[in-house]
Chain A
């Protein structure tokens, strides 16, 4: 492995790169074969058997190359909480995790609720081989009252609006936001939560919240809002995307809505697929997130929905928090965990061994998220811009939060033994190829 391409802070130009001997996977184009990829100035060339003269040859035998992975739900904390994450550190974490695209949520301080702030975020991400798509606030200041200037924001390439961090409280505002964004070919991402039912809660309402004396957030706090969104979508004809689904009841509602042909999509996070509320038993705040870890029955329902496509997207809800913010009493510490740098390892280790094939996984993390954001799906074909994720599927490693590129280390997966890790990314004319 060369180290020329290993600098996170200043990725190298992919001027003449020869990726040799990897299994190339682009299921949507029916590609699953060992082949060499030659990239000149960021563009895929005709596949050839021998490395052309002058090319940097990267030996990727035993590796996989897929179209670039995309994380549809990321919190970059800039502006406002730069100690927890910046746009730059978030991009480096994404690259380290194997993502070439992320969509960031607007709940910064101030929130991303106008065209200028969207433009600014994108400009900050320019030096990296990671596209940063902004999900703009749905209402001005995320106050839930007046709509943002959606038409102008859509001109900046935005196709999703959300008051994530919280729900759009008023059903009237929600309906108007769905109608207006639908007119523009965009959609609303709802953080589904009934704030009355969730008030004061820090974990799932159930046996473990009772045992631990922690105020509970019932599953129906989420599902009631999911039902509301589905009804609004059906009534208006607009599209709604349900963020970070965690509850069995929500899954059932989304499945029924899809059966009806409604324009409703959903996403699921690794923690809701792998962990349950019992894990809060030591009061470790790295198990505190919103929506909270649920019961085993909920976890199982999410997994089945993830397998059968009821939940379209695998995303992380990457939510960085500083050590001092997380190192507080369980009910005082903020919700959220980081996810960019563990999502791939967890998926390759935990999902592929439990009945999900790589093709389905790529559907959830490469194609579906881009379609929901109305973005073109990258193709591995001659003449296309190279947008690639390089994967070492057999590399065994231990999650070591201190080594994250993210500025925050709040993960419940520290110490997990994983098999499979991102070797690098190629995108926007740049390449990052890690040495490990």
Chain B
């Protein structure tokens, strides 16, 4: 039994503005818990959560694990290396085996887009997508939205630019979906080779010029650029990328009013973002990390709260 009308969180595309609003409101209450001297509540006592991370992740897994522990859930970590998957077992068999151990919630990170949807078709457990390839990363977008809402009070009419490798970014996709639903305007900025086909159909503005994005936006969400995109021939060099798409103090100073700076991490300092931007008073990058725990607590509570022990 879920406190939302949803059973799973596979992606924000399934969620309505009202449901996102509920999650963001609940996240504020959860953050209050994080500010207490004793940061633990019994909300999910008796609920078992497995963190099924089939792709490397430190930040997201840690954040989820902390959220689970703060809510008193029983947690189990499962990673790809050393598992049966590395011995040729299919993902389905792995997941069915885990479920047979009576888990309630599966947090899943996997390189294949749609893999949480696949699990949801075959498992009874609640599935929460912690990043499926380049498709979606819903809790990241929620924490980004929470952070922006903290600062501006509302997302309606806010102009947010996503800068960098849009093509390979699940963070970008979930942000576009979430922000559009909440009434924000979204600007996409990056080199032409890293902007996916048909994205204009999602109601975003597109520019290949960082200065233009800076002029038009209230906030920049700066995406990580990976060296492997250079070797795949998608852009000439990190040096050139930094020169034309790196967010620097000098570029930001041209804006009429200061922009709020977000980054989902991990940052490549000196490439997509310089330290004087990352560490500036307008950067909310560390607030994002705190909010990440709060948002994940809220999602866990709203989806799995109904499964907790009645005494809790």
Contacts and interface: CB of A to CB of B under 8 A. Distances in A.
Interface of A: 205-216, 218, 282-283, 324, 327-332
Report, as a range, how many residues of chain B touch the other chain: 20 to 34
A214 to B, nearest CB: 5
Nearest to B115: A329
Most chain A CB neighbours (cut-off 10 Å) among B90, B113, B134, B173: B113
Interface stretch (B196-204, B263-271, B284-292): B196-204
Contacts of B90: 324, 327-328
B113 A207 contact: no
A213 B173 contact: yes
B46 interface: no
A213 B170 contact: yes
B197 A205 contact: yes
Contacts of A216: 196-197
Contacts of A209: 196-198
B92 A214 contact: no
Given A209-B197, A213-B134, A330-B118, 19 more contacts: A205-B197, A206-B197, A207-B199, A210-B202, A211-B13, A211-B173, A211-B202, A212-B114, A213-B113, A213-B114, A213-B173, A283-B114, A328-B92, A328-B118, A329-B91, A329-B112, A329-B118, A330-B113, A330-B115
B7 interface: no
Interface in B116-148: 117-118, 132-136
A96 to B, nearest CB: 28
Given A212-B135, A328-B91, A329-B118, A206 B198 contact: yes
Contacts of B224: none
A60 to B, nearest CB: 43
B109 interface: no
A330 B112 contact: yes
B241 to A, nearest CB: 21
A283 B198 contact: no
A207 B132 CA distance: 18
B45 interface: no
A330 B136 CA distance: 15
Contacts of A330: 112-115, 118
Contacts of A282: 117
A283 B197 contact: no
A302 to B, nearest CB: 20
A269 to B, nearest CB: 24
B110 interface: yes
Interface string B149-178: 000000000000000000000100100000
Contact of A207 (B114, B117, B197): B197
A216 B195 CA distance: 13
A215 B133 CA distance: 10
A415 to B, nearest CB: 16
Contact of A283 (B117, B196, B199, B201): B117
Nearest to B170: A213
B80 to A, nearest CB: 13
B118 A213 contact: no
Interface in B1-48: 13
A210 B117 contact: no
5 nearest A-B residue pairs (beta carbon): A213-B135, A283-B114, A207-B198, A329-B112, A213-B113
Contacts of A210: 173, 196-199, 202
A214 B196 contact: no
B56 to A, nearest CB: 17
Among A206, A209, A283: residue with most chain B CB under 10 A: A283
A209 B202 CA distance: 12
A327 B122 CA distance: 10
